[in-house]
Structure 1
Amino acid sequence: MISLFRKIRQKLLQQNRVTRYLAYAVGEIVLVVIGILIALQINTWNEQRKDKEKENSILLGLYTESLGNRENLKTTIQHHEALLETTKSLMGLFYLSDYELKNYNLDSLIERTIDFRDFNPSLSVIQDLISSGNLGLISSENLRVLIFDWGRETEELKESYETLDESAAQLMLPYLTKNASMKNIDRYGFLKWEEKSRFNVSTHLLFQELEFENNLDNQAWGLANYLKALYVLEEIIEKIISETSPNRIPAE
């Protein structure tokens, strides 16, 4: 093609047809420019297609990771809701008679108030997305905001858990260690001791003590605060799942 254009130019110059040569030269330039523009457009389209494929892969990864996190989150919420209800129930047992208190397995109920667990979501996809600089590939501004919200609220959740954990470590557990049998309490927890403590311990006497009531109240507050943070995460993750659902990803 280039050889053909060169021959045509030489022929026009030999015939001293300068005007036609210039017009032809301009046309040749226009054709070259058009060819470059088409090539650039094809390259741009290919890059956009690759970016879209990457975005769809990221969305699928976010969707899968979020589904797993949602299941773990729901389990964690249900567990701590039960703990809070048990704590509230214990708050209603103060100053009952010994006869009435004997109708309750107090050691088991107390164990249920301290069996809290930290929620550690999987963050591999989100962390990789941010560290790799690929966050800009996500076309949905709403989803990008949700990803940042998830990161911020997981930090808030850590603080809520640390508050709950510190309260137990500094108040409730030292009090129980001094005034109750941890072995009897742990019979219903992780250790599952088969025998009770051989020391003569009267757990029902705790329900005559203001300090124990205050410790339970602090525990209830910490659980409620932790649940509040878990509920916020639950709302965010539901929105992320909705935004990344395969049904919303357009077919190639």
Structure 2
Amino acid sequence: METGKTGKYLKYAIGEIVLVVIGILIALSINNWNENRQLKKIENASIKSLFSEFNFNKSAIESCKNLIIEMRMYGDSIRMQLGPQKSNLEIEQVNFWFGEIGFTRRCEISTDVLNSGNINIISNAEIRRKISKWFSDLKDLEREENEWAQQFSTTITSYLNKWILWDDVDYEGSRDDPRYFKSRFSIDPRVILQQVEFSNIMNNHYWRIKRTEERTISLLQQTDEVIQLMQEELDKI
């Protein structure tokens, strides 16, 4: 101050402060860049894992769809034989059809990666939205499968017990398996095809399978859409 150099020292101090601030900002930028790069690596890894899981699920859902369609066709074969006149079908054929409709299909769908909690890290909002819709469709399918299984066990099976022999049904579907053998009782299962109550049961059964089929097709479409979006995202890497 005595030599009149206050302004010079003040400018020097301000310059030092500016340099420190710039250094801090650069360090923060580098740190943020590193963090963003790590997050992007984690995001890409999550998308790759999801991509693999969805491709696995696509194959599983396609298999379910084909099996459900096959079961519906067997049910249609039975419904075409319903009526007041006794069917001319072979008894073995009728038993085989009953064996084929006597299963309720559940899709074995993997959600291990989906349930890991890494979905929120995906920056693509459209992928997150599609996955959310996919989950909703999956829950609809599972509910339909449960109701189908419940209906079959409580309604169809209890009614069929009065008219068919399950030993014969099992035997027609697994003749080469020594664990199965024909029943010692004698029942003509074709008589059930003349019953009005069974006709109504098969009508309800048909629509239950049809709804399950539609849910499966919807889920398959959603799966394809998610896979396409993730493929586009992976192509950017």
Superposed pair shares fold, TM > 0.5 = yes
Answer with 139-148 or 75-84: which moved more.
139-148
Give the structure 1 partner of residue 10 of structure 2.
Answer: 22
Alpha-carbon distance between aligned partners in 1 of 2:123 and 2:236, rounded to the nearest angstrom: 12
Provide, for residues 131-177 of structure 1, a one-character-per-residue CA deviation record: whole Å limited to 9, x for no partner.
Answer: xxx43321111110112112222211121011111111111101111
Unmatched tracts of structure 1, length 5 or more: 1-12
Determine the structure 1 residue equivalent to 2:170. 186
C-alpha change, 1:40 and 1:181, in structure 2 (3 Å) is: same
Q: Quick one: distance in 2 between partners of 1:187 and 1:236?
A: 40
Query: Residue 37 of structure 1 aligns with which residue?
Result: 25
Q: Look up the match of 2:210.
A: 224
For residue 162 of structure 2, give the secondary structure of its aligned residue in structure 1. helix
Q: 2:72, 2:205 → 1: CA distance? A: 8
Q: Give yes or no for contact 2:164–2:189 (8 Å, CA) kept in 1.
A: yes
Structure 1 vs Structure 2: percent identity of aligned residues? 25
Q: TM-score, normalised by structure 2?
A: 0.91
Residue 169 of structure 2 is aligned to residue 164 of structure 1: no
TM-score by length of 1: 0.86
Structure showing greater radius of gyration is 1
Does structure 2 conserve the Cα–Cα contact (< 8 Å) formed by 1:207 and 1:213? Answer: yes
Deviation at 1:178, TM superposition (A): 1.6
Q: Against the structure 1 CA distance between its residues 104 and 96, is the aligned structure 2 distance closer, same or farther, given a 3 Å change threshold?
A: farther
Q: Determine the C-alpha separation between the residues in 2 that align with 1:136 and 1:117.
A: 32
Instruction: Check whether the contact 1:76–1:119 (CA below 8 A) recurs between aligned residues.
Output: yes
Shift of 1:85: 1.2
CA contact (8 A) 2:47 2:234 kept: no
Alignment partner for residue 55 of structure 1, among 38, 43, 50?
Answer: 43
**C-alpha RMSD of matched pairs (Å):** 2.2
Structure 2 spans left out of the alignment, 5+ residues: none
Q: Which amino acid aligns with 2:125?
A: E
CA deviations over 1:30-68 (Å, ceiling 9, x no partner):
111111111111011101100100000000000001111
Corresponding residue SS for 1:124: coil
Asked if structure 1 preserves the Cα contact closer than 8 Å seen for 2:87 and 2:193, the reply is: no
Q: Given that residues 56 and 249 in structure 1 are in contact (C-alpha distance below 8 angstroms), is that contact kept between their aligned partners in structure 2? A: no
